[in-house]
Structure formats: C-alpha cells, structure tokens
Structure 1
Amino acid sequence: MSYKSIFVHLDSSEAVHSRLELALSLAQQFDAYLTGFFTVYRPEPGSFYVLAGSAEYYAEFEHRRLQQQGALERLFRAEMLRMKVAGEWRRSTEYANRCVPQAARLADLVIVGQYNREDPESFVAQQFVENLVLSAGRPVLVVPYAGQFHHIASHVVLAWDGSREATRALHDALPFFRHAKQVTVLTINALNGEPVSSRVPGSDIATVISRYGANVATQEIEGVKDVSIGETILSRAADLEADLLVMGCYGHSRWRELVLGGATRSILKSMTLPVLMSH
C-alpha cells in the first residue's frame, strides 16, 4: 500500500511554501502524482458596489490574487521539474468548501494548512479544514503554520481509542507506518472501569501494525481528568519527539455549523506537528 496520488491545497498565506515543500517531498518519496490546487477566499463582487470606490477595490483585489497565483504556479512547476515529480496545477474560483472536497476525493492523501488567526490570507472559507476532513472521505494531513517540515513520519504517534474513526485513521496512515523508524500507539484513560489484570492498552492494534514491518511500542496515560485530551496528546508527542500524529476526527453537522469533538478541536487549534486526520 502506498500513496500514488497526493493533493495539496495552495493559497496566498505565509505558510504556503512550507506546505508545498512537504507535498513535493512526499510525492517524491512515494513516487506519487501531485496535484496542486489553488483557491483562496473570494468575496462576492456585488458586495462591494454598495460604497463608492468599491468596484475599484474589487478590481485591485482580483489583480493581486492573479499575481500571487501566477508566482506560485511558476514555483510549483519549477520545483516539480527540479525534483522530477509528476503532477498538475489546478485552480478554482468556486467556493472552497464545495470545490476542494470534490477535487480531493480523487487523491490518496490530501494536504492542507492550519488556519492562522494572525494571517488573514490563510482564511479560505468558514471551518475550511474541518469541513474538508469530515466531507472529503480521504485522509487529510494538516500542516502547522508555524515551523518547517521538510520530512516527516520518522516517529509516528497513533492516538488510539478503538473507535471507528481511529481505525480509519490507522489504515489510512499505513504507508507512513511502513516507512517510519518508530510507531508509538498512545492510549489515554483506556483502563477506566477495567480490572487491574487487563492487558496493556493498545497492544492488540500494535500487533496489527507490526505485521507491516513497523517497529511499534505502546504508551498509556491514565488518570487524565482536568487537562484537555488534545493538549495531553500534543504534550506526549512532543516528549517523544514525534514528527507525525495520526488520529481519528470526530464531528458532525448541526444546522449550518460543524461540531467537532474536543480533542479534534483542540489539536486543530494548537498543533505543533503535522497531523493526519481521518473521519
């Protein structure tokens, strides 16, 4: 099993170059076809015409977007040629929460960036990453806006709770597990209500992962009560010097809002390493 098609969302944010570099590196590593998909937030043209001068503002806005797009496309094509990666450049002016999930469903792995509140250019659509993870049906690798990630998955942490979402994430991450030097199965409060003689949490699934040739260890954290589960996972991943976190994403739609599980929400906000999420 491998990733033979990789999709990376590109925009005009400050972190886009780091994300593109990682996507190219992974495409080269897995000999995958890389699709660079450029789309950004686009206000409705009609919304600008209520004030004098707003038409000119919109024209300038579009001109700047075209310049940013052109520069990034030239970089994308040059880097693909330099790294001998096959792929294509695509762009869309449609609403991102509609067009990106549709396009992403054709890929084995989807790469997006974490939203950065300090960078307005990283806003693509309301709850963009959350919507993509819940609706694309593909594993989504979310890259933090802070830091450089040239290579990942030397040490992978799997946040394991035995759920359907975690199981999906595990199997979506198998190509990374097979290339990793170390995989750690992390469980939290797994022995709640269990007798003292219970077997080590995560041991069964660690055995499954080891059949793919991975070096697997288990770690359990018990008694977590007053601390966020997401923060606990990130803290332990940092202690282990992991460079990839794999986890299931919990969430559902409620009216016009996406409601996410606490750990998912916390990690999307405070992530310090790339996170592979599946739903």
Structure 2
Amino acid sequence: MALKDILVHLDSSQHCRARVEAAASLATRHGARLTGLFVRTTPHVPQFVMSQLGPEVTRAQRRYAEEASAKAKATFEAVLGGFEIASEYRDPEGELLDTLVLHARYADLVILGQYDRRDDNMADEREAADQVIMDSGRPVLVIPYAGQHPRIGDKVLVAWNASREATRAISDALPILQTAREVDVLAINPHHNGVNGHGDIPGADICGHLARHGVKAVAEHVVAHDVDVGNLLLSRASDSGADLIVMGAYGRSRLRELVLGGATWHILHHMTVPILMGH
C-alpha cells in the first residue's frame, strides 16, 4: 500500500504548527494528499447552567470553536504555502474522539500529537492516540510535543517481537521503510519457539521478508530482562539517531498496561522521536 492519503489532526495547542510541518514533509515525500482535520467539539452545557445563563452560553462556545477553527486553518494554510501538495481542510462539529476515528478510517495514515498535560488546549486529547490506534483500523503516527521533526523516516528503528501487532505495524509502515536510508530491526528478549517465536536467529525472517519488498534492514537483538522495554527502545533510538520508531501497539489490554505498565503506555508518555503504531 502506498501513502496517498494522510490525515493530520489540528488543534489550538502550541504544538500544532510543528505537527503540520512534519505531516506536510511526509506528504511531499510520498506524493500524498494531506487533509487537516479540526474538530469543532459539541458544547456540553449542564442544564442548571442553561437555566441560569440561557442559550448565550452555547452561542459563546460555538463562537469560540469557530474562532479556533479559523486559527487552525490559517496555520494549516500558512505551512502548506511552502509545499507543493494537494490538501484539504475540514472542520466538522462533533465529539472529538469519535470524529477523529471516523475520519481516520478514510486515510492511509493518521498523524496526531502527543498529549501534553501542560497545554490546556489539549485537555480533551488525553485519550486521542489510544482511541484512534485501537478503533480506526489505520496506522497512527504520533509526533512528540518536544522538539522539531521536519523529516521523518530517514533512519527507522523497528521494534520486533513477532506478534500480530508488530506484524501489522511493519505492514502499515512499508511505504516509509521502502524510502528509508537505514532500517534497524530490534528484538528485545526474543523467544525462539511458539506462535510468537523468532526462530533460531531473531529478526532474520522479518528482515528477509522486508528485503523482498526492497527494504535493506539489519537485524539485532538484545537480552535485558531487568530493563523496561519502553526505556530500552527510546534509549536505542537516541543512541542510533533514529528519527522514527515503528512498533505494534497494545499487545495486551490497555487496562492491563495502565495497571502493570507496558511498552505502548510508556512510549506514548515518554516519547522523544515520532512513533508509528499499528494494532
């Protein structure tokens, strides 16, 4: 599958412009159409507030949403002024997460921003990445709120554990891997046998599969049972200069990761480079 239809979520946060710049660069590289999606969230006003203040509260909220949409559109168009790509701006009204999931289903790739609890304009986005990853059926590229990421996919680190989720992520990321300058496939604490087994040489089979798709990948594996997998991935990405991590998301339930911890949860909260996740 080629990347021909990319969707980027727009909001009022201070990180929106950098997210659009990263999305526009990726769309240019792959000759894709870029759609900017701003969701004008439906006002939820308690009945007792309505009874005291009347419908003016709802009208004020709608005016605020319209002004925020206009600013997001201006940012989107200002960034795209420096790129020669097909584009579209959308600003439907609705519930944020449901609307994101709905529009994501009609794109090849969805680009979201990492949740920043310090930015009040992202207050409704705490569960956005989780929801779109789990419910859209599409790969999700999450851009960290820290730093600039103008070019994504030159040097890619693939987290491989031979699971269904990792298999899906690699398939989803194939167009990016095919244009990458360098691809490293890393297996952490690999199992040799079973349905999620790696075989005698961890990573060798998936690298062979990638080679048949024109991807020159190098397989590595590490054994470090006393180190958190999420921390190890981020550390390896930093040491190698990777500008993208590709990994499967939520091999076990989100609730279990919240309680016991897990690589997906850790990465989404501590990411330092863009992460492409498939589920």
Letter in 2 for 1:107: A
Cross-structure match for 1:209: 210
Query: Mean Cα displacement is larger for which, 109-118 or 71-80?
Result: 71-80
Instruction: For residue 165 of structure 1, give the secondary structure of its aligned residue in structure 2.
Output: helix
- Could you report, residue by residue, the CA deviation over 1:163-190 in whole angstroms, capped at 9, with x for unpaired residues? 0000000010011111111100011101
Instruction: For residue 107 of structure 1, give the secondary structure of its aligned residue in structure 2.
Output: coil
Identity %: 40
Instruction: For residue 137 of structure 1, give the secondary structure of its aligned residue in structure 2.
Output: coil
Task: Give the distance between the partners of 2:231 and 2:78, measured in 1 at CA.
Answer: 39
Gaps of 5+ in 1: none
Instruction: For residue 94 of structure 2, give the secondary structure of its aligned residue in structure 1.
Output: coil
Contact 2:229 2:263 in 1 (8 A): yes
Task: Give the distance between the partners of 1:199 and 1:258, measured in 2 at CA.
Answer: 31
- Could you report, residue by residue, the CA deviation over 1:33-53 in whole angstroms, capped at 9, with x for unpaired residues? 111100265550236717966
Query: Mean Cα displacement is larger for which, 20-29 or 119-128?
Result: 119-128
Instruction: For residue 93 of structure 2, give the secondary structure of its aligned residue in structure 1.
Output: coil
1:139 aligns with 2:143: no
1:190 aligns with 2:187: no
Moved over 3 A (4+): 40-43, 50-65, 78-82, 191-194, 251-254, 257-261
Query: Mean Cα displacement is larger for which, 21-30 or 72-81?
Result: 72-81
Gaps of 5+ in 2: none
Letter in 1 for 2:217: V
Query: Mean Cα displacement is larger for which, 73-82 or 49-58?
Result: 49-58
Letter in 1 for 2:200: R
Q: Residues 122-271 of structure 1: matches in 2 within 5 Å? A: 122-125=122-125, 127-191=127-191, 199-225=200-226, 227-250=227-250, 262-271=262-271
In the TM superposition, residue 65 of structure 1 has moved relative to its aligned partner by 3.3
Contact 2:25 2:151 in 1 (8 A): yes
Task: Give the distance between the partners of 1:166 and 1:74, measured in 2 at CA.
Answer: 37
Contact 1:41 1:124 in 2 (8 A): no
Cross-structure match for 2:110: 110
In the TM superposition, residue 76 of structure 1 has moved relative to its aligned partner by 1.9
Q: Sort the Cα spacing of 1:51 and 1:114 in 2 relative to 1 into closer, same or farther, 3 A.
A: farther
Q: TM-score with structure 1 length normalisation?
A: 0.88
Contact 2:115 2:126 in 1 (8 A): no
1:88 aligns with 2:81: no
Cross-structure match for 1:77: 77
Task: Give the distance between the partners of 1:128 and 1:151, measured in 2 at CA.
Answer: 23
- Could you report, residue by residue, the CA deviation over 1:49-101 in whole angstroms, capped at 9, with x for unpaired residues? 17966976665554343223212212323443441211211112211121111
Cross-structure match for 2:20: 20
Q: How many residues align?
A: 273
Q: Residues 26-45 of structure 1: matches in 2 within 5 Å? A: 26-39=26-39, 43-45=43-45
Alignment RMSD (CA, Å): 2.6
Instruction: For residue 123 of structure 1, give the secondary structure of its aligned residue in structure 2.
Output: helix
In the TM superposition, residue 12 of structure 1 has moved relative to its aligned partner by 0.6
Q: TM-score with structure 2 length normalisation?
A: 0.88
